Amino acid sequence: SQTIHQWPATLVQPVGSPLSLECTVEGTSNPNLYWYRQAAGRGLQLLFYSVGIGQISSEVPQNLSASRPQDRQFILSSKKLLLSDSGFYLCALKGQGTEAFFGQGTRLTVV
Amino acid sequence: DQQVKQNSPSLSVQEGRISILNCDYTNSMFDYFLWYKKYPAEGPTFLISISSIKDKNEDGRFTVFLNKSAKHLSLHIVPSQPGDSAVYFCAASAVGGWARDNYGQNFVFGPGTRLSVLP
């Protein structure tokens, strides 16, 4: 079965510091991978999606970037965090079926 | 402009009664709809889905209804249980043909409705 590993679960970072969140998946090959953000009191906003290695599409302009160095690895990064980057970040995959499956999320607090 | 709307940010229901969560969408290219349930500090979990070729899909206590002409879907939970208390997200996707190629099979989520089932 498909599983998603996302870490860390919580992270507190100072403004201006770099960020790297990692997501790895198992049990599927060539999945579509997604990064979502849930800001306080808001829904799920799609940040990036990837249909394959090295293929990244950005949905909204922002301070973040994403990379997919391997088929089952999706990384969310920032060179300098802003206060507004605080939120709950979710990695998701879409395999052979039509549903997306989510990881457990990372709670990022920028201070 | 929000393509998927959930106009009720919160809903309170008595245990044992029916919970009805509503969702509206604007993009007629969406042809697949999903409901996700989310507890605090956890990722959303898939609950139930419906294809645009159907108007109803049922799974245990959960039923989703789709009204394509109104671009409206709803999730019914009967009977509601305290463990159902969570945030429910409606999501839409375009899985077929042109829409899939152009939307990359992405999911557009609504803002969520917080359901509280009172004992």
Average pLDDT of chain A?
89
Helix (H) or strand (E) run with residue B100 in it: helix B97-103
Instruction: Indicate the residue of A98, A102, A103 with minimum beta-carbon distance to B49.
Output: A98
Contact B14, B77 (CB under 8 A): no
In this prediction, residues B17-32 reach a mean pLDDT of 93
Residues of B contacting chain A (CB within 8 angstroms): 6, 32, 34, 36, 41-46, 49, 89, 91, 93, 95, 104-112
Sign of the alpha-carbon torsion through A29, A34, A35, A37: negative
For A3-57, the pLDDT digits (tens) are 899 989 999 999 999 999 999 999 888 888 999 998 766 678 888 988 889 999 8
Band of the pLDDT at B66, cuts 50, 70, 90? very high
Instruction: Indicate the residue of A34, A90, A101 with minimum beta-carbon distance to B46.
Output: A101
Q: What are the respective helix, strand and coil percentages of chain B, to the nearest 5?
A: 10, 50, 40
**Gyration radius of chain A over CA positions:** 13
B-chain residue closest to A59, CA distance: B106
Q: How far apart are CA A100 and CA A33, in angstroms?
A: 9
> What's chain B's length in residues?
119
Residue B68's CB is within 10 A of a number of other CB atoms, namely 15
Instruction: Indicate the residue of B36, B43, B93 with minimum beta-carbon distance to A103.
Output: B43
Token pair for residue B37?
């349930």
